[in-house]
């Protein structure tokens, strides 16, 4: 069984107003090394903290790490009058404050408002691989399924004080970066390495770390890293997402060893599929991942489950994933729950309050604490 792990970016919000607060440096200065649990780290803006799970074998363990990471981030910012919320973008107006860091400083100098103003929180899932050859083969065979994961995770309908009309406006904001998005089929490690080098040699990006692809080989550990998703509002949804990614990786590796070629949908069509997933989430139309033609989002989700069913069973995740997907399709995921909260009174603070409550609904004493809205 493959190990897998999750990185979640969490938004830090004022307990009274719901506005993002630039607290990460102060909060992380008080952090203790966890040793036996998820780690916390800074990100490009001070209004964010990243929680990194440990490599795990079971979805139950992933969920435990996700809940613990959220709780630890929350405990560090609560003394400053803030909460950690699993929001992919701030529903309230925000002017981000960059983290003081030499690499981030260079990015801010080179890339203007894209670097200064893009405050977004994603979810990255890492799954272990046996070799880079296997990893590239997996990337080639999961690329046409990634927009379905985006649709399921969509959790950013509101941004900077308005309803954007998207389920995941983070997708649109993130794709201001030069190399964000899907790729064509590579076919070999040499082709993957050449692709990376050609893009770095343009000098438009600083280094390979700025290859913000929907999925890529990690440069720090032997994993495939799937980066397409919003941070999920509900910790249970994060665990379901991770289980689906691992099952996709298992299925792709099996296909590679069986000599089954990748689906040949061009990257331009996959970019459109991602855009549509970001627009409507699981509540509308979505190109089918096997042939690329338009269809219903529920059909695309059903196709994903059928595609990875054997791997889900082998990993012991089938029942939990099916139940989780039923919940996500019923609620509309994070985007649906945010819009439901807004619909009650038309207040964006209600959206943030609900987000805080759901973020920590599995976190014991923190559950349902919400914001103290005046």
Residue 338 and residue 357 in contact, taking contact as beta carbons nearer than 8 Å? no
pTM over 0.75: yes
Q: What is the pLDDT of residues 146-203, one digit of tens each?
A: 999 999 999 999 999 999 999 999 999 999 998 899 999 999 999 999 999 999 999 9
DSSP-derived 3-state class of residue 156: strand
Please write the tens of the pLDDT for every residue from 258-282: 999 999 999 999 999 999 999 999 9
Which pLDDT value is given to residue 55? 97
Domain edges within the chain: 4-366
Query: From CA 62, how far away is CA 310, in angstroms rounded?
Result: 20
Strands (E), the chain: 4-14, 39-41, 48-52, 82-85, 122-128, 158-159, 162-163, 215-217, 223-230
Quick check: helix, strand or coil at residue 98?
A: strand
Give Cα separations from 351 to 25, 159, 174, 346, 354 (angstroms): 26, 11, 22, 9, 5
Sign of the Cα pseudo-torsion (264, 267, 269, 273, in order): positive
Taking a C-beta distance cutoff of 8 angstroms, is the pair 256, 156 a contact?
A: no
Find the mean pLDDT for residues 302-325. 98
CA distance 225 to 213: 9
Q: Are 151 and 286 in contact (CB under 8 A)?
A: yes
Strand bridging mode 162-163 / 158-159: antiparallel
Average pLDDT estimate for 96-117? 90
Q: What is the pLDDT of residue 363?
A: 52
User: Which residue, chain included where needed, has tokens 């970001």?
Assistant: 278
- Contact of 116 with 96, CB cutoff 8 Å: yes
Neighbours of 129 (CB within 10 A): 22
What is the pLDDT averaged over residues 27-35?
77
CATH topology of domain 4-366: Creatine Kinase; Chain A, domain 2 (3.30.590)
């Amino acid at each position: 069984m493959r190990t897998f792990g999750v990185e979640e970016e969490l938004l830090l919000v004022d307990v009274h107003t719901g506005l993002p607060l630039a607290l990460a440096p102060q909060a992380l200065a008080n952090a203790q090394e966890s040793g036996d649990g998820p780690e916390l780290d800074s990100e490009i803006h001070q209004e964010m903290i990243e929680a990194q799970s440990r490599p795990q074998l079971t979805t139950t363990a992933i969920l435990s790490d996700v809940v613990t990471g959220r709780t630890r981030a929350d405990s560090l910012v609560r003394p400053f009058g803030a909460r950690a919320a699993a929001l992919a973008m701030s529903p309230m107006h925000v002017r981000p404050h960059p983290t003081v860091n030499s690499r981030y400083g260079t990015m801010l100098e080179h890339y203007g408002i894209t670097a200064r103003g893009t405050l977004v929180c994603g979810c990255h899932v890492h799954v272990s691989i046996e070799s880079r050859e296997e990893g590239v083969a997996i990337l080639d065979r999961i690329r046409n399924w990634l927009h379905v994961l985006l649709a399921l995770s969509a959790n950013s309908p509101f941004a900077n004080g308005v309803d954007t009309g998207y389920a995941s406006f983070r997708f649109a904001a993130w794709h201001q970066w030069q190399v964000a998005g899907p790729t064509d089929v590579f076919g070999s490690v040499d082709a993957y390495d050449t692709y990376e080098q050609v893009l770095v040699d343009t000098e438009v990006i600083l280094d390979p770390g700025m290859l913000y692809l929907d999925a890529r080989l990690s440069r720090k550990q032997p994993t495939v890293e799937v980066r397409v998703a919003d941070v999920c509002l509900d910790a249970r949804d994060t665990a379901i997402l991770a289980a689906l990614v691992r099952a996709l990786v298992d299925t792709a590796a099996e296909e590679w060893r069986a000599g089954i070629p990748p689906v040949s949908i061009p990257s331009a069509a996959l970019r459109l599929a991602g855009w549509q997933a970001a627009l409507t989430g699981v509540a509308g139309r979505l190109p089918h991942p096997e042939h690329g033609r338009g269809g219903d989002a529920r059909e695309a989700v059903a196709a994903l489950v059928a595609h990875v069913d054997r791997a889900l069973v082998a990993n012991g995740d089938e029942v939990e994933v099916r139940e989780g997907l039923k919940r996500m399709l019923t609620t509309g995921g994070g985007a649906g729950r945010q819009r439901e909260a807004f619909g009650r009174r038309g207040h964006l603070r209600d959206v943030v309050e609900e987000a805080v409550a759901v973020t920590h609904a599995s976190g014991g004493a923190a559950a349902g604490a919400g914001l103290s809205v005046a």
